Chains A and B, each alone.
Chain A
């Protein structure tokens, strides 16, 4: 790791680590609450972080940010992904969060339905161990991303933030899918749960918006048809 890299991105690194610690604490707090509240808390946290990731991601695909990235002496692929660095970091952080949460809970319970509310109280030792793991993982990811790819954010937009909030939430939920399947939550014959329907509808919306967003990203990346500003027409 180069000294100037640390100096340059040190503050961001600290911020990322701080967020990680906060999230781990929040997860443990949510675990203590148990009795179904876990579900809502995870959803809220995912959405909150997702919105933040989306804002960063959206910042990165302004024309100014793309120009800045493309003018740097980086390969085209790295330059294209340069603006997304922090968003990728946040997404990985979310995945790490869920991973830590799942692992923490499975220490005490063989199976644990996350979305239906956990009833575990993770041992402090296990929690600390996995928090450390999450911290190390996130730190490494951040450092590596920041070393390799410069960031170039610009002004964000709420709509697009919401879109990627959805994508982030979807990604954060992926690790939970096996437990969902194991519980038979996808049994179509059982009585519908209004809560599940709400979550399902939200994810469907997220997925649709994500597809739209990917399309926009690809077009912005230069495949074609950047919307022309009036003065350039």
Chain B
């Protein structure tokens, strides 16, 4: 069962395209991270998925319904933590908790009390008196205590100190332990992704450039170091073929390639010259190209993968 489905979701603001043809889905029970640099369209995509803003084109369904016309009962199954505080600043925390309790039929009073203790949320102050971190904790409390099926968080770790972030990750882990619970969150912080997400969707300039299980992403996106001549001969065609160039130096060239793992062999498909097979050699981590030249394949940290997929490695070119 899919918690979220988007088909060709597009959002234009005047001549600018914030989200471009997003076709993507998230099965129920998974935790997915929207990764992307600033301006990649993450927040806009989330806002469309939550029904805060209509799509210019395309459709989406969240928990089986069109979010723009979602029934209140379905909306009560969605918890949302915004990047910036959206809670009414004039309300006292206690009043806000009481108010939300009256709106959400599955509100868990005991969980609320426990979260108040864990997150050190006091009922007395007004929302406007809370610090950014306290505000974020309150928003998280509200989202968790309503016993949602789908939790959507926009940059949940932003503005939190290390201890608070760990607490956040721990609480999200507890939430995900529940049956059928789904989490979608946007972030710049890849460390958060590795701790929570089982799936990653990378957005760059409004387009979805990767959507895979975290393990699959690690497996399929590698750095390949080739001899300079080989690289120079083929770089344009490889780039055109969707292989992502990250960096070069005087003697060798690094490529980050994706979706090229095939039955244990790494194959760079050179459109003009046929397959350049980079197969494992007898020397462990060393792979040999089909032309007999040495190629080195190494794993990448998620941060490097993110940078490569988001197209931010260009600055590293030599």
Contacts and interface: CB of A to CB of B under 8 A. Distances in A.
A2 B18 CA distance: 44
A174 to B, nearest CB: 30
Nearest to B56: A224
Given A8-B98, A231-B38, A64 B75 contact: no
B13 A233 contact: yes
A70 B99 contact: no
Contact of A71 (B14, B54, B78, B84): B78
Q: Taking each of B13, B76, B86, B95, which has the highest tally of chain A beta carbons within 10 Å of its own beta carbon? A: B86
A67 B75 CA distance: 13
Given A70-B50, A226-B53, A232-B18, A64 B104 contact: no
B104 A73 contact: yes
Interface stretch (A111-119, A145-153, A158-166, A208-216): A145-153
Interface stretch (B39-47, B211-219, B262-270, B293-301): B39-47
A225 B14 CA distance: 7
Contact of A154 (B68, B80, B89, B102): B89
B264 to A, nearest CB: 43
B163 interface: no
A66 B13 contact: no
Contact of B39 (A70, A75, A154, A232): A232
Contacts of A40: none
Contacts of A190: none
B225 to A, nearest CB: 36
Given A7-B98, A228-B16, A71 B50 contact: yes
B24 interface: no
A153 B88 contact: yes
Given A4-B102, A67-B86, A231-B38, A73 B73 contact: yes
A92 to B, nearest CB: 20
Contacts of B70: 76
Interface string B42-85: 01100100111110000000000000111011011010101011
Contacts of A2: 102
Contacts of B39: 231-233
A150 B102 CA distance: 11
Interface in A136-152: 150-152
B82 A75 contact: no
A232 B43 contact: yes
A150 B87 CA distance: 11
A74 interface: yes
A65 interface: yes
Contacts of B84: 64
Q: Taking each of B41, B50, B69, B89, which has the highest tally of chain A beta carbons within 10 Å of its own beta carbon? A: B89
Interface string B148-177: 000000000000000000000000000000
A73 B76 contact: yes
A4 B98 contact: yes
Interface string A50-78: 00000000000000111110111111100
A222 interface: yes
B86 A222 contact: no
A156 B138 CA distance: 24
B103 interface: yes
B18 A72 contact: no
B13 A153 contact: no
B86 A152 contact: yes
B45 to A, nearest CB: 10
Contacts of A72: 75, 103
Interface of A: 2, 4-5, 7-8, 64-68, 70-76, 150-154, 222, 224-228, 231-233
22 contacts: A2-B102, A4-B98, A5-B102, A7-B95, A65-B88, A66-B52, A67-B80, A68-B88, A71-B52, A71-B78, A71-B80, A72-B75, A73-B76, A73-B103, A150-B88, A222-B68, A225-B13, A228-B18, A231-B39, A232-B41, A232-B44, A233-B16
Given A64-B85, A151-B90, 17 more contacts: A7-B95, A7-B98, A8-B95, A64-B84, A67-B86, A70-B52, A71-B52, A71-B80, A73-B72, A76-B70, A152-B86, A152-B88, A153-B89, A153-B90, A225-B14, A228-B18, A233-B13
Interface of B: 13-14, 16, 18, 38-39, 41, 43-44, 47, 50-54, 68-70, 72-73, 75-76, 78, 80, 82, 84-90, 95, 98-99, 101-104
